[in-house]
Amino acid sequence: MPPNGHSIVPREIPQLDRLPRPVYARVESLGSDSWSALHSHPWVQFSYAIQGVLGVHTAEGSYVAPPQRAIWVPAGLQHQVGSNARAEMRSLYIEQSAAPWMPARCQVVEVSPLTRELIRSFTALPSEYAEEGADGRLVQVLLDQLRQAEEVSLSLPLPVDERLRVLCESLQADPADGRDLGYWAARIGVSEKTLSRIFLRETGLSFRAWRQRLRLLHGLAPLENGERVTDVALSCGYESTSAFITAFRQHFGCTPGEFFNV
């Protein structure tokens, strides 16, 4: 997710009136804290990185794609795409007519080994590849595989309520912030019970569950970059490595080491 309060490196957005083919590849090497401006386009985007962790930010939430995952972005949706660390992006732009089954909302999905290799092969083709023959068949197989991609829980919903928005942005800027619900309730001028109720209504998660998901998602990029689990745990606000690993396993169903060896 965009680094709140940190300097960012703006990314250029391709100026395309239309796609040269129904499926178009965008290949880009991202530096640390590289994010596009808020924008939209009339085609669907499949944001994927063969190395590093990509993020997509919208008004509804933040979505994170570590290796073997990608993010669907619907056509017409205002969004930002980037990475807080270095990443090798291999994203796809897809005309809606080419795949009418595409999801109508942002979601993170699994990328199978076959899909990963198909994307690698496709991104090596010229932008105006031959739609008949081998190139066209590769595209159709790729679309078939994308259609089967299963959704995974790697998103962080954001509230609409301005009071909660300020709270969430503060925690995004410093996930290790350990101040409790009582502090935030006093800061925005409501009772703990009221804040808890509004938070659940706006995000679908309790305050505690939302903050835990924020911390775990925040830890994915440094983990993928090879940082020690202990250092990542402390930077995310956990008092011990074991507490972080337990929370990680509860949310993702595996340890950090297993997660990145899928």
| pLDDT band at 212; cut points 50, 70, 90 | very high
Reply yes or no on whether the pLDDT at 30 is more than 80: yes
DSSP 20-54: SSSEEEEEEEE-TTEEEPSB--SSEEEEEEEES-E
Q: What is the pLDDT of residues 131-165, one digit of tens each?
A: 999 999 999 999 999 999 999 989 999 999 998 99
Q: d(Cα 60, Cα 225) in Å, to the nearest integer?
A: 27
Bigger pLDDT: 15 vs 214 = 214
Rounded to 5 degrees, what angle do the CA atoms 224, 225, 230 make? 80
CATH number belonging to domain 9-152? 2.60.120.280
Q: Are 78 and 58 in contact (CB under 8 A)?
A: yes
Looking at beta carbons, which pairs linking 115-119 to residues 24 or more positions away fall under 8 Å?
A: 115/142, 115/145, 115/146, 115/149, 116/50, 116/68, 118/142, 118/145, 119/25, 119/48, 119/50, 119/90, 119/92
**Tally of helices (H runs) and strands (E runs) in the chain:** 9, 12
Q: What pLDDT score does 181 carry?
A: 92
Q: Mean per-residue pLDDT for 74-92?
A: 92
Q: Where in the chain is the domain with CATH 1.10.10.60?
A: 159-259
Give residue 49's pLDDT: 93
| Structure confidence at residue 31 as a pLDDT band (50, 70, 90) | confident
Do 257 and 226 meet the contact criterion of CB atoms below 8 Å apart? Answer: no
Beta strands in 66-121 (DSSP E): 69-73, 80-83, 87-94, 107-110
Residue with tokens 């985007």: 45
Residue 7: predicted pLDDT: 56
Chain segment 87-132, per-residue pLDDT in tens: 999 999 999 999 999 999 999 999 999 999 999 999 999 999 999 9
Could you tell me the pLDDT band of residue 176, with boundaries at 50, 70 and 90? Answer: very high
Question: What does CATH list as the number for 159-259?
Answer: 1.10.10.60
Task: Give me the residue label for tokens 């083709």.
Answer: 125
| pLDDT band, very low/low/confident/very high, at 67 (cuts 50, 70, 90) | confident
Contacts of 258 (CB under 8 A, 6+ apart): none
Q: What is the rounded CA–CA span in Å between residue 163 and residue 92?
A: 36
40-61 tens-digit pLDDT: 999 999 999 999 899 999 999 9
Q: Is the pTM of this model over 0.75?
A: yes
Residues of the chain with CATH 2.60.120.280: 9-152
Give the integer Cα–Cα distance in Å for 86 and 211.
Answer: 25
